[in-house]
Amino acid sequence: MGENDVPPRLAEAVVAIEDERFYEHHWVYSIGLSRALLYDGTLLCLCQGGSTITAQLVKDVYLGGSDRGFNKVVDMVLAVKVERVLNKKQILAYYLSEITTGFGRYGVIEASCAYFRAPLDGLTLGQYALLAGVTQAPSVYDPTVNPDLAQQRRAQVLSKMVVQRLITAAQAQAANAEPVTTKGPGC
């Protein structure tokens, strides 16, 4: 997927729920990382994430999906390098091409076909919000496995979009009323 292939509404939904300061920061979101380190240090666990979209891309592509222990340091170093080479639109496009979107499914194009039987550029706001929400925990929010949790997650994405003034409350309400999956004409 090229940087110009990411539908704007999908980009807004993903950034709203995954990394709201994506276009403002470089390589690491220090407030999120600080919060995660404080939480993890207090509870003596590796429970919280502080990763930016760039860091998540690096983790998935270069670190086999793990940013535990030393990999967290490698993750940060590689994220700095990626941010120096690629622009934000390219990073987002690569991220959306690589992320897990369900059992054995990678990328939002594949998810669009599986969940909605429609091409990525022809989806509704609710469908983009669902795709954005699935990325956090694909096995939990996969609408073909657990439509109720997928619907709840979609509502969270839409709520964040309203708070960030990307959409109106009326648009969110209409998108929340959409079915979780549909049987379109095919991809």
What pLDDT score does 148 carry? 96
Residue 111's domain comprises 103-176
Number of domains in the chain: 2
- Distance from C-alpha of 161 to C-alpha of 176, rounded to nearest angstrom: 12
Q: Which residues contact 34 (CB under 8 A, 6 or more apart)?
A: 50
Is 35 a domain residue?
yes
Distance CA 17, CA 159 (A): 9
Domain match, 137 and 165 both? yes
Q: Is 127 among the domain residues? A: yes
Residue 100 is classified by DSSP as E
pLDDT in tens, 87-107: 999 999 999 999 988 888 899
Q: Is residue 119 part of a domain?
A: yes
The tens digit of pLDDT for each residue in 107-166 reads 999 999 999 999 999 999 999 999 999 988 998 999 999 999 999 999 999 999 999 999
Please report whether residue 79 resides in a domain. yes
In a domain, 109, yes or no: yes
Other C-beta atoms closer than 10 Å to the C-beta of 68 total 10
Q: Do residues 81 and 136 share a domain? A: no
- Distances from the Cα of 74 to the Cαs of 54, 116, 138, in angstroms? 13, 37, 24
What are the pLDDT digits (tens) for 39-81?
444 444 444 445 788 888 888 877 777 666 666 677 677 777 8
Q: Is residue 70 part of a domain?
A: yes
Domain final position from 88, 115, 135: 88
CA 124 to chain centre: 17
Query: Is 96 within 8 Å of 7 (Cβ atoms)?
Result: no
CATH number of the CATH domain containing 135? 1.10.3810.10
- The per-residue b/e assignment along 8-43, b for 16 or more CB within 10 angstroms, e otherwise, is ebbbbbbbbbbbeebeebebbbeebbeebeeeeeee
Instruction: Give pLDDT, residue 146.
Output: 93
- Widest Cα–Cα separation across the chain: 51
Give yes or no: residues 108 and 171 share one domain.
yes
Residue 17 in domain? no
**Residue 57 tokens, joined:** 């891309």
Q: Where is the domain boundary, 65, 88, 111?
A: 88
Domain final residue pick, 53, 88, 123: 88
Count of helices and strands (H, E) across the chain: 10, 2
| Same-domain status, 171 and 115 | yes
171 and 128 inside one domain? yes
